[in-house]
Structure 1
Amino acid sequence: MAELTDEAIRCHNLRDVACTLVKRPAFNATTFALDDANSLIGLNFALEPLLKNFNRQLLHFHNTEHAAGPQRMARAWSAFLPMVLYFWANGAANALFRNCVFFDESAVITAQALTISQLDFVLMHELGHVSLDHPRQIKALKMSGEDVTTIRHEFEFAADAFALELMGGRAFSPLKYQGDPRRPDADDTLSKQGLLECDAVRLLFRYMQFVDEAGRHLKQRLGHDIELKDRLDSHPRARDRLNRFEQMALHDTPHNPDILRYATSFFDNVLAYVKGLSDSDLSETLNRVVIN
């Protein structure tokens, strides 16, 4: 909120918004309508370290691709499986974080920058729900007995669009960026920063998509042996949100840096490895993660 301009806060009616941490396994936070005037945003208490771990692990595998060995996909699955179980089986938060080796300082800085931008997007998304009055509309529809599935999905897309608008740079204070707004290249700096933040959000959706697809596969294969949720959440599928976000953000000028291309193929390869495991081997990997 400190990075938003007073004009943006006033224009979008965001002055009276409270936030609290909640122990609720969900990628994005939840916004509650307290009464006719006030809203409360509940943030997953593990959100920041969770996203940082995703970014650090992905960068680790990206930076060590040249040294890939036969156990690479097994190690990748072991690294990301605790995060899948956290969402699908209420896994322990303290089992999420695995050490990974970085060979240069820039990877650590990149992971931190990606995490900050992803957290910004999650928060701006929830502020979109507040500004657009979604919680109270959903509450009213539920009280009238209507099915809110379709409208809830549309609200999620609308909140993504709202967050994208706020993250575009125009609504942010110049303090948000590493540069002097009085410089002649200030507009170019904001434009580049906006692209980098869009890339971070696209990675966030890739993570959500991987967790969704991996959890669904575990449910199909081992749902009779381990208690898993019937579905990840009530949001639209991460793949659909990513497609809609790219349509809104990129238009005719796609920005597809190496890390995004790598993330797509990397997670596809991890899922292919998992699908190739026998039921007994897949179950063994779950037991190993739970025990450790």
Structure 2
Amino acid sequence: MRFSTLSELIRLCEQEAVPIGRLMLMEQAKETDEPEDAVFGRMREYYGVMKEAVRKGIGEAPVSRSGLTGGDAKRVHDYLEAGASSLGADTGKAMAYALAVSEVNAAMGRIIATPTAGSCGIIPGVFVSTQERFGWTDDEMVYGLFCAGAIGYVIANNSFISGAEGGCQAEVGSAVAMAAGALTELRGGTPEQAVHAVGLALKNSLGLICDPVAGLVEIPCIVRNGFGAVTALAASDMALAGVESVIPSDEVIGVMLEVGSQMPEAWRETARGGLARTPTGQKITQDIRLERRNP
């Protein structure tokens, strides 16, 4: 790739007068030595998988193999349909859809890791709900995914996207930043505004620990995806309104690396700290272990 930082990404977009999504498609085609149509078509298939996961999570309310999670996306969706939400229908849909995809993941269904399985609901939740709201075509959404991919590429190569390395800030935080930046571009924002959305989103996720109960990507991972989708919408709105990340987004990514590197191991996906070590978390872990020994 011709860029390794978000500031370099902005500069390239400005020089070539293209949005981030278009630039990333060109870069990916060069990187893989494939025609742009082939690269675009593969990403379009990925988006189809995301939409199907949303549909399945809402319509079928799958339950995880552990029995710990499942059906919350449908509960939230039904609550929205009843007109009871404080968030409003559009934001509430993003939250419900993010929960839906995460529940499909927990039930061993087919998802796209964006950027990880633990954060797989955030981008689909934001993308599918806003597509329904604004009437964007699938092709427009695919360019949005390329934009998200460019942002994720920078984060992954300058910090973390793995909870085991940098805590949940690396998984959910990165996904929120990717969704916020891509949504900003989809709504007509400049590359600079999209990058400000990334910084705003990441700053709100710094220090988030990874503490899965029983080591499963369920509690609290699924609800964090729901909250993450809402945060992405807020960060995008701030950026489009003219709010800037005073600390440059590349520097925020550097801080995430610093914080994650200093984070105790117990808070990095080991299930030895945080919510996993609460009395309830430990009881759930013991019950699951007992079930596995006595199926």
Q: If the length of structure 1 is used for normalisation, what is the TM-score? A: 0.31
Task: Give 1 or 2: higher strand fraction.
Answer: 1
Q: For CA contacts below 8 A with separation 6 or more, give which structure has more relative contact order.
A: 1
Structure richer in helix, relative to its length: 2
Whose radius of gyration is greater, 1 or 2? Answer: 1
